[in-house]
């Protein structure tokens, strides 16, 4: 994928773009908290028949983070301008985890350029009682426990930091810092979002890995019920990141929905 930098509202936004094939519906992909991995197997599968566009959220990857930006809502407005800047008339919109929250915020503002919406283990709404977290506090638990909640097969998905370059380590820590900034308070949700989702009438698919320890089946179903034209689907043998644990099934599920 081609990597470029687009300046929007003072943000130097890192954008990966596969280019063609022409005539197909472009896919705008919003990554999870781990950041966008252009070499991941699912990327090539999504890009095989579509133009795939994947920005790094502000503060993630190599995107800058200005002082004024401190919320998911800020990022949503930024991506509305990115859609205009790239002259994307109709797109398939895919968001994973924190990217799903951002995608949902974008869709409540306008669906004029959105054809269909796929939300993969999204966060962003408060569904349970005030005294209980809907999403486990990822910042207050040991990394080993978090790793187990994220993956169906934790050992297979383990990454050795000693094998990472200094730049990869820098980006990993930077991603986590940016995730804390936008998801800390209120924790992993916008209190107003659930009251706006009825505006999103385009076809929407909610996806979840069957072994996801962060986004529960109950939470996903409750989230989907807030949209008038949504359905849910589960990917077996996958956790919070089905795109990494089951890339072929993930890509085929997303493409089948977008192309139907």
What angle do helix axes 72-85 and 98-109 make, rounded to 10 degrees? Answer: 70
Q: Is 80 exposed, middle or buried (CB count within 10 Å of its CB: 0-12, 13-18, 19+)?
A: middle
Model confidence band, residue 38 (pLDDT cutoffs 50, 70, 90) = very high
Cα 57 off chain centre by: 10
Does position 23 have pLDDT exceeding 90, yes or no?
A: no
Structure tokens at 51: 């133009």
Model confidence band, residue 245 (pLDDT cutoffs 50, 70, 90) = very high
Model confidence band, residue 21 (pLDDT cutoffs 50, 70, 90) = confident
Q: Note the pLDDT tens digit of each residue in 124-161.
A: 999 999 999 999 999 999 999 999 999 999 999 998 88
Domains in the chain (CATH in brackets) are 2-259 (3.40.50.1820)
Please report the pLDDT score of residue 250 as a whole number.
98
**Phi-psi category of residue 191: left, alpha or beta, with phi > 0 → left and psi -120 to 50 → alpha:** alpha
Q: Note the pLDDT tens digit of each residue in 97-130.
A: 999 999 999 999 999 999 999 999 999 999 999 9
DSSP 124: B
Beta-strand runs (E) in the chain: 2-8, 11-17, 27-30, 52-55, 91-96, 114-120, 204-209, 230-235
Q: Is 30 helix (H, G, I), strand (E, B) or coil?
A: strand
Across all residues in the chain, what is the average pLDDT?
A: 96
């Amino acid at each position: 994928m081609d990597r470029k930098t687009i300046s929007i509202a003072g943000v130097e936004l890192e954008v990966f773009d596969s280019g063609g094939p022409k005539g197909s519906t472009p896919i705008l992909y919003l990554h999870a908290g781990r950041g966008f991995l252009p070499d991941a197997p699912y990327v090539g599968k999504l890009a095989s028949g579509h133009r795939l566009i994947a920005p790094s959220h502000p503060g993630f990857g190599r995107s800058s983070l200005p002082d004024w930006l401190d919320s998911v809502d800020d990022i949503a407005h930024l991506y509305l301008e990115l859609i205009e800047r790239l002259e994307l008339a109709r797109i398939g919109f895919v968001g994973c985890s924190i990217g799903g929250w951002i995608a949902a915020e974008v869709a409540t503002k306008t669906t004029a350029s959105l054809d269909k919406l796929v939300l993969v283990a999204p966060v962003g709404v408060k569904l349970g009682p005030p005294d209980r977290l809907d999403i486990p506090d990822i910042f207050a638990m040991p990394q080993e426990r978090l790793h187990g909640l994220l993956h169906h097969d934790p050992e297979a998905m383990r990454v050795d930091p000693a094998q990472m370059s200094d730049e990869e380590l820098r980006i990993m820590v930077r991603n986590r810092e940016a995730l804390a900034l936008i998801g800390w308070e209120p924790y992993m949700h916008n209190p107003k979002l659930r009251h706006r989702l009825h505006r999103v009438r385009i076809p929407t698919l909610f996806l979840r890995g069957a072994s996801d320890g962060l986004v529960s089946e109950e939470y996903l179903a409750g989230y989907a019920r807030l949209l008038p034209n949504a359905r849910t689907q589960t990917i077996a043998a996958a956790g919070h990141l089905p795109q990494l644990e089951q890339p072929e099934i993930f890509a085929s599920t997303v493409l089948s929905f977008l192309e139907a």
